[in-house]
């Protein structure tokens, strides 16, 4: 998708590119050029690539629940190297409803004109999922946690078909205030046929005291209202999970995309009375949809 929008100002590369040329018998060969560059700015033209569509999926009624619901959700993953990204919900619950980030600083290593490594750092916003006490009978008396928009930052790296991201974005935790989750996720894309591509991945998430207490703790007031025992949840590793993404090309622009995911709640989150014995520490999610490829 190309949008012919040109910016009045163009921020050029901060540091000079370092280039090396392999020599042949007749002199330098441009095809052997290697470059390393560090830059910041906005491109002269926006040319986002990726996909957008709609999916149907199954997910727990709340994080830690033992019951599941079928939901419809958008499938979005648009990106332009050196500019930023827009992503929708996935089977990783820590991704929320979606996020957007700006590649404010980019370190790029290219060989023979082909990018082999990119490291991007920048600000990021995320539309976080809340939790409604009406979502499930087990949540009665615990109060609501509103959906929220959080701000933070990320560091993302791409090496060949490997993609890794470390992000820290604030999230509303109800009466406990605003908490901070720190999530590390990675995936590797493998083409297994002319039309089929799979992307196995994994993630792990740490949360601070505020977020742990807001989602998994039970205050004295909540205990009196819900009948659950009082419980203090502390900072620590909240979960770890596995993801498998699937892409099947139907035509040049139309494709099927799906994801299956497994999440294991850990630490104080796993021991919370909201999760055990009321719910399950092992969480499963899946989605399948049709998307238009740009």
- Who contacts 168 (Cβ-Cβ below 8 Å, separation ≥6)? 152, 153, 154, 180, 181, 182, 183
CA distances in angstroms from 92 to 2, 51, 98, 237, 253, listed in the order given = 29, 18, 11, 15, 26
Q: Is the backbone peptide bond immediately before 277 cis, with ω within 30 degrees of 0?
A: yes
- Who contacts 219 (Cβ-Cβ below 8 Å, separation ≥6)? 175, 230
pLDDT, position 111: 85
Alpha carbons 130 and 67: distance in angstroms, whole number? 17
* Tokens encoding 294: 């740009």
**Average confidence score pLDDT of the chain:** 87
Query: 46-94: per-residue pLDDT in tens?
Result: 777 999 999 999 999 999 999 999 999 999 999 987 789 999 999 999 9
Alpha carbons 285 and 7: distance in angstroms, whole number? 41
More confident residue, 211 or 27: 211
Give me the residue spans of the domains in the chain: 44-100+126-147+160-293
Q: What is the mean pLDDT of residues 172-192?
A: 94
pTM: 0.86
Q: How confident is the model at residue 175 (pLDDT cuts 50, 70, 90)?
A: confident
Alpha carbons 36 and 33: distance in angstroms, whole number? 10
Query: 241-265: per-residue pLDDT in tens?
Result: 999 999 999 999 999 999 999 999 9
- Who contacts 67 (Cβ-Cβ below 8 Å, separation ≥6)? 60, 61, 136
Q: Are 154 and 166 in contact (CB under 8 A)?
A: yes
């Amino acid at each position: 998708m190309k949008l012919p929008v040109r910016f009045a100002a163009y921020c050029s590369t901060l540091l000079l590119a370092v280039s090396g040329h392999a020599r042949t018998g007749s002199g330098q060969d441009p095809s052997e050029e290697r470059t390393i560059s560090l830059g910041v700015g906005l491109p002269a033209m926006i040319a986002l690539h990726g996909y957008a569509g709609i999916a149907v999926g199954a997910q727990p009624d709340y994080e830690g629940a033992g019951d599941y619901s079928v939901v419809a959700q958008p499938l979005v993953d648009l990106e332009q190297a050196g500019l930023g990204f827009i992503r929708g919900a996935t089977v990783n619950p820590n991704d929320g409803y979606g996020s957007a980030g700006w590649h404010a600083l980019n370190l790029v290593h290219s060989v023979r004109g082909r990018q082999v490594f990119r490291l991007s750092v920048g600000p990021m916003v995320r539309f976080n999922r809340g939790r409604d006490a009406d979502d499930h009978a087990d949540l009665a008396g615990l109060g609501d946690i509103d959906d929220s928009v959080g701000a933070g930052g990320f560091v993302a790296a791409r090496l060949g078909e490997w993609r890794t991201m470390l992000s820290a974005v604030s999230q509303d935790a109800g009466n406990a205030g605003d908490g901070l989750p720190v999530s590390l996720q990675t995936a590797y894309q493998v083409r297994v046929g002319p039309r089929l591509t799979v992307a196995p991945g994994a993630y792990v998430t740490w949360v601070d005291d505020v977020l742990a207490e807001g989602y998994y703790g039970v205050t004295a007031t909540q205990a009196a209202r819900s009948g659950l025992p009082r419980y203090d949840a502390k900072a620590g590793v909240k979960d770890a999970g596995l993801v498998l993404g699937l892409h099947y090309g139907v035509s040049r622009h139309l494709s099927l995309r799906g994801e299956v995911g497994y999440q294991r709640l850990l630490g104080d989150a796993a021991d919370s009375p909201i999760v055990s014995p009321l719910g399950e520490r092992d969480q499963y999610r899946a989605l399948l949809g049709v998307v238009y490829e740009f």
